[in-house]
Structure 1
Amino acid sequence: MTESALLMSAALVICLGLGIWVGLALLLSASLVLFFYSSVPLGALLSQYSLNILTTPDLVALPLFIIMGEFLVRTRLSQMLFSGLAPWADLLPGRLLHVNVIACTIFASISGSSAATTQVVGRMSLTELLRRGYRRDIALGSLAGAGTLGFLIPPSTIMIIYGVLAQESVLRLFAAGVLPGLMIATLYGGYIMVRAVLDPSIAPSDDEAYSGMRLVDRFRASRQLAPVFALIFFTLGSMYFGIATPSEAAAIGVIGAAGIAWLDGSLTREVLRAVATGSARTCAMIGLIMVGATVLSITSTILGYPARINGWVATLDLSPVALIAVMLAVYLLLGCFMDGFSMIVTTLPIFLPLAVSAGFDPLWFGIFIIIAVEMSQITPPVGFNLFVINGLTGDRIGHIARVTLPFLLLMVIAVFLLVQFPGIATWLPTRLIG
């Protein structure tokens, strides 16, 4: 085991160091070890498992949700979200800083992508917040932190990946992500309010646009949110009420997103071309990663890595909380060098059996992994949300990471709340789906 594991690790590190695509690096390193250390017919295994993973029925929803997100990124949704939410957020301590958190929570319900959520919300909110005199550090940090909710609140592309690889129901995963996502959003909002009370200078004392605004006018402004909530209702509602499967709901989402683009005049030939090419690139990248991850997982099973590592960890006699703490530390370290998809596919063959043997529900563990991956979105040097905000504002990556640190710590608190109260993740899918 030692020689084969060292060879596979060395091959993977060399491939990644040479800049080879992650999916191809996983495939090459696993194939190399299979060739030298097993008698399994390599060609038959590669073809069979590639076909199996890429034709999984649950995977049909993935490209559709990606297309939906591509449409929404190219609409005026950021302006609608800000206009509809700002009159209400202005009533809270911290005022319009809450727009970042609430808008990201809402957009996460229709995007499935952390980077897309950060980009769409930040495009409008950062400009407005900085223009109105809000503290730059908490404006950037709250956007970076709240943008990660795009992975946790359904529909989530990364949940589909986990569901397929772990053979867990995607619909149950979608339901399991709702309450943890709202919990993290609440932690963010609470932190902003506490900061505003302790240090009122983070937000201007008054905003002429909303001071003295009548209640009827606030409700009138909320009409801007109608297309967003309609899309959420028909996409997620159709799944949770048993009307549509995740794939059918994704198709409804694509039609709704295209309708929003058409209504606001964004549905041009150039946009359609950009949506098609962007979706094709993303789907091809994810497909290659999944094939590589599947072959890597099969290789690990054939050579007995998970069982032996599981036995070794058992000798350490770690408590379940300590095991989760170790896994979280590993994910935070990996997040400095790898993207979320790569982290999940490379660690799942080892970590999932460990978690199950420690008594954790695979459904619960999926939510834990997704929160851990969310953390990787705001850890330098490979934090995609940091890059998105850098592109929007020009601030240095290190500075953005530093001002995002309080929100990263809040996510760590959320993980341990989930450990202590696992029902936060498992109660809703049990109630809705059984």
Structure 2
Amino acid sequence: MQTHFTEADLQQPHIREADRVLRTCVHCGFCNATCPTYQLLGDERDGPRGRIYLMKQMLENPDDDNVTEETRLHLDRCLTCRNCETTCPSGVEYHKLLDIGRAEIERRVPRSAPDRALRLGLRKALVDPARFKALLKMGQVFRPLVPGNLRRKMPPAPEDAGRRPEGGRHARQMLILEGCVQPGLSPNTNAATARVLDRLGIGLTPAPEAGCCGAIDYHLNAQEAGRARMRANIDAWWPHVEAGVEAIVQTASGCGAMVKEYAEVLADDPDYAEKAERISALAKDLVEILRDEDLERLTLREHKRLAFHCPCTLQHAQKLGGSVDALLARLGFPLTPVQDAHLCCGSAGTYSVTQPELATQLRDNKLDALEAGSPEVIVTANIGCQTHLAGAGRTPVRHWIEIVDEVLERTSFPEHSSATSETQELDPEGE
């Protein structure tokens, strides 16, 4: 694609990056074929190609009065699912252009007070685990008073996650990012991860100073706040990195995608660029850890019939599509086929709150596809997708590691005999 930036424009790093991305696009339109919002709305401006043209025009014409709230609406409707990037034959890094375009339109077309309040509220409520837990408990107590859209996304009080094994006794050590909303919405996910890794001789080193990965702030156009959270996490993890931890495990694929991009986001930060590169290299989704282990050491009591929903952040951002399916099949779980498995469920971080109508249509379409094979449980790899899909009140939705942990035989391997009393105290449900 030909661009028309001046030499002065190209002195600005964000314009130079936008120019690079734009020039890789050949406006073929293949991206529209797999764009969820284009499929629903049929508007060129609600597909990647149309949005690219909107952003190109906006960035090339800093004084253009035609950039309005309507332009912002089409950018807001983008899920940032990155399905278009998987489809694109030219390798257009659309998400990088979108970050630049959203920041620019935020500057030129200020949002209304209610819209700003909603986004600030989401940032403040979601990024702090303790605050989110307190708000969630309050919402569960006063559930009838919670607005309908939020009430449908709010699950009942979670069951006890069960005890975590003491991970310090293992020679192999990894960090785990606990997350910001997952401890409140699904505390068993990370506890189940700790129990399964323990059976494989891997311990989890706690790093309580680490907080939100930064994705919520960053993708709500509070990009500097997002970078500050990234730096804080690097500071929290760095002593453990220097001590030789093997990996930083992510059980929420959205967080994993963000942490893997720390190196790109902080590439121009002289104090953090080198550390960020190391952190991104250490970041691993849980499936990347388990697929390389001797899983034959795990004995399963039963095999539930599952449908797997692969989050966009796992298949399009981390390029790990098919990995969880293969691992579950290796463990013996029967998996039902899922049509259009590449399409987004509509969760997309805070999208299901800021764009509820589109998110609900996408969720219902996704559930129809997932339930076509009559699974006992739908499993996924991201807390946002899990909560969004479960909010329909249809088939139960869990993180896949919870199901693996739930059906494991409660035995310890000889070399892990110190864990015997601890693991055998857990009941068959992992509590």
TM-score bin (small chain): under 0.3
User: What TM-score results when the alignment is normalised by the length of structure 1?
Assistant: 0.25
- Which protein has the bigger strand share? 2
User: What TM-score results when the alignment is normalised by the length of structure 2?
Assistant: 0.26
- Which protein has the bigger helix share? 1
Larger relative contact order (C-alpha < 8 A, sep ≥ 6)? Answer: 1
